[in-house]
Structure 1
């Protein structure tokens, strides 16, 4: 038996590494905290922020619902009566007015209609800082109503007859109005003259008089006025063709002696006259809804069987107004 020298202590033999590793316990995978455990970990500041965020979301949802149900506000461009030389009273003043049928047609879908007057920031009597872009900002859509001829000057031509000079002043006002609504991403529907103006706005030209410029054309206006009518056709791919796919030979009224000649940039032809292929509807393909109809849909009876019921066009226009007003 071996003895250790006095004063020396026996050093225990070291254990193997394998044994040591075997005795070490590894931590088990952590379980995700329960909801009430998370709540306990939140600081007072975090809790306050969560309450504040919840209130903001509730207010936002409430405002969104109110906006979604808010009555649409549609602007209609003004017709202009220019003063007659030497006239007194109202005939000696510039009058701006709204034709009743177009207002009633738009209001038939329970929306509000506002006539948009011309603006004159340089007026000597009553100057104003209001611009047409302010109307485009606050209204949900624009209807360009019919009326006087578009001036040939607006598409860089001279009138071939004095009576076809058109209304250059109204052209300038409506071209600016159209531009502002398109810039604001708001829908536009042009009626008769409004269709022609949309074409001119994008560089297109017009027949100054269909009878004179297109000898083989049918009569597009006569003494019957809004009772005059003809059939139309929808080219392949036309959105109107898809909208009225059940109509075999739709009829529309015809009250115009001018019409689209050269189609403007980025415009699609949506409808043509069935007998002479005169353009009857156009659409701007780089906007959600900018369309022109050569006929007067406001003179068509809703649900009527003689003339095309254009309520779907109005509904499509108003749908675009709801989708773009935010």
Structure 2
């Protein structure tokens, strides 16, 4: 009947969205609801609240997830006549490099060489998979880079380097660069970064640069010299109070001709041999000619390179998926 659809003034109800009933008890809407709330507005606020909570949780998980850093493998090649384990190819890392990286509470994984066409244990895993799933790469020190890798012949047989490791690490480096992940090269790793982008090396500093100071010595990691940062160096900005810091020196090869888009970050003093480089077309690809992982063990006189490690790890955090 018409009377059923009229209010106290006799006017008909106007059409509109359904309202949440304002019941005080008995299963109706609660008094704390906003006046004029509808089921749709309430559902919208609930969904937005759930979405914010999910975003907050994902953000916390993203920041809390431990970084995963890969370290390239050193390779032991069996010598003629070797028996037992020494008759096998071995891949390993020097523990100090892993401990240095882990000192910032990150996980370290040694990245092995891969052989997708292997007869014994074929696999579809490639180095690209490691670049996809790890957050950054450290190229550790070790054997010489082979002169054949930068289109030269060894001046002496003992300077022939490790061509097999070069091939493996060059692919690994390029996969991480292509994936937008940061790379930190140590000693040999610094030289490999330069070669990877078309640069060359002095096969032996003492021979090729007779006026240079000694860069390798029987004291091994106890041997040291000073370095300086050229104007505009990002390393110089990390160490604004260090004008002539001291680093260890354990290398007989060194960067010669710079690769494309490679900038010098540090030089030895006073002879000017390149001691650090940066590839400027990537967020973070840097090479240090010295071994920062050995510094703290040799006292406070050597440059504390924790700021370099932190910059590398920040880049890993910022560029990971």
Give the alignment's TM-score, normalised by structure 2.
0.86
Q: Which residue does the alignment assign to 2:201?
A: 206
Is the 1:231–1:249 Cα contact (8 Å) retained in structure 2?
yes
Task: Pick closer, same or farther for the CA change 1:167–1:303 going to 2, 3 Å.
Answer: closer
Q: Which residue does the alignment assign to 1:222?
A: 217
Is the 2:116–2:122 Cα contact (8 Å) retained in structure 1?
yes
Q: Which residue does the alignment assign to 2:293?
A: 298
CA distance in 1, matches of 2:259, 2:276: 12
Q: Deviations over 1:239-292 (max 9, x none)?
A: 111111111320000000000000111111000001110000001111111100
Say whether residues 1:256 and 2:248 are aligned partners. Answer: no
Query: 5+ unaligned residues in a row in structure 2: which ranges?
Result: 1-32
Q: Which residue does the alignment assign to 2:151?
A: 156
- Higher-Rg structure is 1
Q: Which residue does the alignment assign to 1:325?
A: 320
Q: Which runs of at least 4 in structure 1 moved beyond 3 Å after TM superposition?
A: 35-40, 46-54
Aligned pairs for 1:1-326 (under 5 A) are: 39-40=37-38, 44=40, 48=43, 51-301=46-296, 304-326=299-321
Is the 2:222–2:298 Cα contact (8 Å) retained in structure 1?
no
Q: What secondary structure does 2:81 align onto?
A: coil
Q: Please tell me the root mean square deviation across aligned C-alpha atoms, in Å.
A: 1.7
Is the 1:196–1:259 Cα contact (8 Å) retained in structure 2?
yes
CA distance in 2, matches of 1:47, 1:265: 60
Is the 1:205–1:261 Cα contact (8 Å) retained in structure 2?
yes
- Is the deviation greater in 295-304 or in 230-239? 295-304
Query: 5+ unaligned residues in a row in structure 1: which ranges?
Result: 1-34
After TM superposition, give the deviation of residue 137 of structure 1 in Å.
Answer: 1.0
CA distance in 1, matches of 2:157, 2:44: 72
Give the alignment's TM-score, normalised by structure 1.
0.85
- How many pairs does the alignment contain? 289
Is the 1:302–1:311 Cα contact (8 Å) retained in structure 2?
no
